[in-house]
Structure 1
Amino acid sequence: MKKLTFLTATLFLAILSSCSSDDSEDLIDFSVTFSSATISTTETDTTKEITLNFSRAASEAGTITVSVTGENATYGTDFSTAPAANSGTIAVPVAAGDLNATITFTKILDPIEGNTKSVTFSLAGFDNTQWVNGTVNSATVSFSPIAALNGIIDLENGGSNMPNQVYFDFSTGQQTAVKRDTWEIALHNGTENRVYLNAALLVSAAELDGITDLLSVTEATALTTPLELNTLDPMTFQPTTVTVNTVSELLQGLPVGYFQYGDIDDGVVFTDSWQGDLEGTAFAAVSTTPDDNHVYIVGLGNEIPTEAAEPGSINTTGDHRGFMKVRILSNGSNYTIQYAALDETTNISEVTVPKNSSYLLSGFSLINGQSVTVEPAGDEWDINFSGVFSYYGYQGSLIAGLTYSDYAVHNTLGGVGLYQVTTYEKDSEGVVTNFDVPSYANFGRGDVDESAFVYDDRTVIGSGWRDAFGGVLKDDRYYVLKDAAGNYYKLMFTAYISNEGIRGNAQFTYERL
């Protein structure tokens, strides 16, 4: 939470890094596993990367032999690969230092309607006798969409700066990485006209009640009604109140942070709610009556730093990106975004964005003045590993603008449900209480509790799967997910940091029930 350097984790990792990487006795077994057991293609998506993950970086070069078997599919006619196959096998090269290897599968011919085609890739051997098979020894590529069976996913959040949001779809095993600074606001494509803020970039927004003339607003503009807001005293870190009379005074407490202004009791909050519901947006519902839509001051969030953090720590929040004034209108089928720099008094920019029913939200970049494809289609993602997540709310007894790292939310707007299974609890004295629930390995379809699925709070996973202060992955929990198509999955995080101790390199395993 926040930009903390976790001393315990750093010391632990420093001890690890002091060990010689050339000392073979300190190396874990080098195992090879497919990242997913099932992979789908579509009519338009004909090329797939089949990833072989390694348990650690290769200490020496070698070759992995992978056998290739087609069902109603002939090599060279129906499909091809790179590296090329020879007599039913592929020699996959591994260089010293590699963490994975890939085979590129290309579909040449779709199956005739009513028929199926697939190709199975299996680990067949290694030229290094010390290398061993991992947990997933084969991967089947279907020429048609199928629900994925299981997989091990290395998230592409991008390291200690966590530059990427990652969307993951369990039924296809597909992850989509998007830089989190490519958009500030997103427009809801459903029947309600709503605007979401980019919580991964620490974007905030404050309504200027009663003000509809965008060009009339500057820092000197007086609020129609002064606001009594809560904040923390910067000297004592104790709660205090401030009176805000002008836009300039409002700007002091608009950026997300411990000193952010707000008043939860009176409903004055400058971020979206953590739950992600339509009624919890900082922007009020966009009315089809133009005069009901007021001007907002939007805090554009914080830059993504480029300097990597020390092992075990994070560096996700750079300089503030400034403010814009924004007004959004709607006729029910389109949104019209009016925006300008805060000191602009002559010209405004205006863009009309039609609703697109294929997507839950349509991203928009105020800085670049254009629509941005952020989320995959509404039914093509289940979890967003946002990396960074922010909102105004409670942290124990503290009420402030909060920022979390290593964060995950599920697609509640798209009808995805999820709940946590806790296997044991440890009290402050270290006494362990085991709960009467199956282990992750033993959890099956018959163990699913339909009443436990959460559809109205996207933060069930949140950052609770790791202990940042201890620098460790929590092993007392796993999660059960039901996607919009009715497929059930269990998932559990299996890595918190990379082999080199770098944050922003999480891994999880999943299995369809």
Structure 2
Amino acid sequence: MKNYFNYLCIFLLVLSLNSCTDDDSQTTTTNFVVAFEQPSIQLSNETNSNTIDLVFSEPAPQEGMITIQTESSNATYNQDFATIPEAVNGNLEISFEAGDEAASFQLEQLSEIIEGEEKSITFSITAVSIPETVFSGNTNLVVNLFESAALGGNLAPEVGGPNQPNQVYIDLSSQQETVIQRDAWDLAFYSGNTNRVVLNYSTQMAVGKTDFYNISEVNESNVAQLIPQISIGNFNPANMEYIDHPSGDLGQTAMDVVSENNEENPVYILNLGNEVGNSTPQLGSVDVDGEAKGLIKIRVLQNNEAYILQYADVNETDYTEIEINKSQGFNYTFFNFEQASTVIIEPEKNKWDINFTVFTNEIMGAGSYMFTDFVLTNRQAEVMAYQVLTSEVNYEEFNLTNIDESNFELDQRSIGSNWRQGGGPGQAPSLREDRFFIIKDTDGNYYKLRFTALVSEIGERGNPAFEYSLVE
């Protein structure tokens, strides 16, 4: 289950703080613990119904009832919000069955969030019908009906298992998660002041510049020497020139800046990479690469503020031409060759902070290489991060006085794969438990984040989880 590691953390806390031993019987009893899964939730106008989860330290020993008190600030029940089940005299009663590992209720948002209006609801666990139940961890949940940074929480991004088919964009302050299939796009056209084109870094794409400026003149025979070089993972340091720089620096894309003088814009050979893998690997391993998608030739021109994309099979003289406009408020406009159209991929520029993805990175001295379980920061929106070792300061004690602005890196790999060990022959992958990360998000909030899972309960890759907290 996704929340297994959250339950485990609570359970271990209970063992250390709430266990008692009877010397005569030599038995140990552990209290039943109930807590909210998150300490706070930020509502938005995009979602009107929200599931509020409560977690247990162990399967419920018997059926029972949780009583939750509601208190609101500038928010009115049945006008601004409602709950299922309905609150009576400000109290909710949530039932559960013996053996349940969690409980939940629905929060319905009835009024639109208006800028400047500060409305909030606080839910507090006040009673559980099982004797000797302990309220520990997140005993209160604050729900904001106005724009406010979330206090933190526990998240399990839907990467999708050992094929890692998804890219998962997460906005920490709003706790919004956007999931897309990572081969749903091929090229990203920058929406900023310069004209740059970025490759899909999750599907082994690469691109090589030819000496031609007419797309109809290019064929396999006159670029035969270039084609074998346009690949990923061949352990040749020189192949870095065929990928975008992994730091996310748009000044170092594999394709040149698109010139206003279209006569200066060359034809490229584009390796479309691979489809998402679909076979089942050995437990603890990954299989992210499916069938190769082949080669095409492309040329990108400029027309006022728009891009003009020309593309065709390598040996075709006829080509397709499409105009691609910049997307105001977004980092990029994305294009999919199979659909022959633009597609929506990333959230708006300032509405995501980190991205879980497969990624084309660099191994120094060996060139480009595909990394799984990778985490990117939103460099184009100036999201930055740095790593802190627990030998310097532990996670719980880290606060605003510990922030060191000089440590922040404007490199989208600041988290990268540094949070886990990749494993190898006879060695399973594992978390690095000696570190956590500090993130400065798109709104200037500081969050501390540590990873709590790399694999599922049964050891299946592509099932990460993390906890994070607003640094105060």
Contact 1:197 1:203 in 2 (8 A): yes
Contact 1:191 1:332 in 2 (8 A): no
Aligned to 1:356: 327
| Closer, same or farther: CA 312–44 of 1 in aligned 2, 3 Å | closer
- Provide the secondary structure at the position in 2 that maps to 1:158: coil
The worse-fitting range, judged by mean Cα deviation, of 307-316 and 285-294 is 307-316
Aligned to 1:216: 217
Per-residue deviation, 1:329:
1.3
- Provide the secondary structure at the position in 2 that maps to 1:318: strand
Select the residue among 447, 458, 463 that pairs with 2:417. Answer: 463
Per-residue deviation, 1:89:
4.1
Give the distance between the partners of 1:215 and 1:58, measured in 2 at CA.
69
Aligned to 1:503: 461
Give the distance between the partners of 1:407 and 1:415, measured in 2 at CA.
19
- 1:280 to 2:252 alignment: yes
- Provide the secondary structure at the position in 2 that maps to 1:263: helix
Amino acid at match of 1:329: L
- 1:447 to 2:447 alignment: no
Give the distance between the partners of 2:94 and 2:312, measured in 1 at CA.
54
Give the distance between the partners of 1:471 and 1:510, measured in 2 at CA.
22
The worse-fitting range, judged by mean Cα deviation, of 276-285 and 211-220 is 211-220
* 1:44-83 superposed Cα distances (whole Å, 9 cap, x missing partner): 5444343445667889987655443322323222212344
Amino acid at match of 2:459: G
- 1:299 to 2:301 alignment: no
Give the distance between the partners of 1:360 and 1:112, measured in 2 at CA.
26
Contact 1:497 1:503 in 2 (8 A): yes
Q: CA RMSD in A?
A: 2.9
Select the residue among 69, 72, 76 that pairs with 1:70. Answer: 72
Contact 2:85 2:106 in 1 (8 A): yes
Q: Aligned pair count? A: 439
Amino acid at match of 1:474: R
The worse-fitting range, judged by mean Cα deviation, of 116-125 and 174-183 is 116-125
* 1:346-366 superposed Cα distances (whole Å, 9 cap, x missing partner): 3x2222121123011221111
- 1:263 to 2:238 alignment: yes
- Provide the secondary structure at the position in 2 that maps to 1:69: strand
**Consecutive unaligned residues in structure 1, runs of 5 or more:** 1-24, 224-245, 425-436
Per-residue deviation, 1:345:
2.6
**Consecutive unaligned residues in structure 2, runs of 5 or more:** 1-26
Aligned to 1:9: none
| Closer, same or farther: CA 77–203 of 1 in aligned 2, 3 Å | same
Contact 2:384 2:414 in 1 (8 A): no
Aligned to 2:227: 251
| Closer, same or farther: CA 142–217 of 1 in aligned 2, 3 Å | same
1:329-340 alignment, distance < 5 Å: 329-340=301-312
Contact 1:36 1:173 in 2 (8 A): no
Per-residue deviation, 1:485:
2.3
Aligned to 2:342: 371
Give the distance between the partners of 2:61 and 2:275, measured in 1 at CA.
37
Give the distance between the partners of 1:183 and 1:511, measured in 2 at CA.
32
- Provide the secondary structure at the position in 1 that maps to 2:370: strand
- Provide the secondary structure at the position in 2 that maps to 1:200: coil
Amino acid at match of 1:370: S
Per-residue deviation, 1:137:
2.6
Per-residue deviation, 1:180:
0.4
- Provide the secondary structure at the position in 2 that maps to 1:136: coil
* 1:168-204 superposed Cα distances (whole Å, 9 cap, x missing partner): 1121122211110100111111111111111112221
The worse-fitting range, judged by mean Cα deviation, of 106-115 and 306-315 is 106-115
Aligned to 2:190: 188
Amino acid at match of 2:232: V
- 1:382 to 2:373 alignment: no
Select the residue among 287, 294, 298 that pairs with 1:326. Answer: 298
Give the distance between the partners of 1:356 and 1:371, measured in 2 at CA.
11
Give the distance between the partners of 2:229 and 2:31, measured in 1 at CA.
52
Contact 2:45 2:113 in 1 (8 A): no
Per-residue deviation, 1:85:
3.9
| Closer, same or farther: CA 312–382 of 1 in aligned 2, 3 Å | same
Higher relative contact order structure (alpha carbons within 8 Å, sequence separation ≥ 6) = 1
Per-residue deviation, 1:309:
3.0
- 1:416 to 2:383 alignment: yes
| Closer, same or farther: CA 182–442 of 1 in aligned 2, 3 Å | same
- Provide the secondary structure at the position in 2 that maps to 1:122: strand
* 1:62-119 superposed Cα distances (whole Å, 9 cap, x missing partner): 7655443322323222212344445544455667997765543222124777543222
- Provide the secondary structure at the position in 1 that maps to 2:375: strand
Give the distance between the partners of 2:252 and 2:31, measured in 1 at CA.
49
| Closer, same or farther: CA 213–308 of 1 in aligned 2, 3 Å | same
* 1:446-475 superposed Cα distances (whole Å, 9 cap, x missing partner): 1100111111x2112111111121522111
* 1:314-340 superposed Cα distances (whole Å, 9 cap, x missing partner): 121222122222111123511111112
- Provide the secondary structure at the position in 2 that maps to 1:201: coil
Aligned to 2:374: 407
Select the residue among 139, 153, 169 that pairs with 2:141. Answer: 139
The worse-fitting range, judged by mean Cα deviation, of 274-283 and 86-95 is 86-95
Give the distance between the partners of 1:112 and 1:394, measured in 2 at CA.
48
Contact 2:197 2:255 in 1 (8 A): yes
- Provide the secondary structure at the position in 2 that maps to 1:215: helix
- Provide the secondary structure at the position in 1 that maps to 2:107: strand
Per-residue deviation, 1:375:
1.2
Aligned to 1:3: none
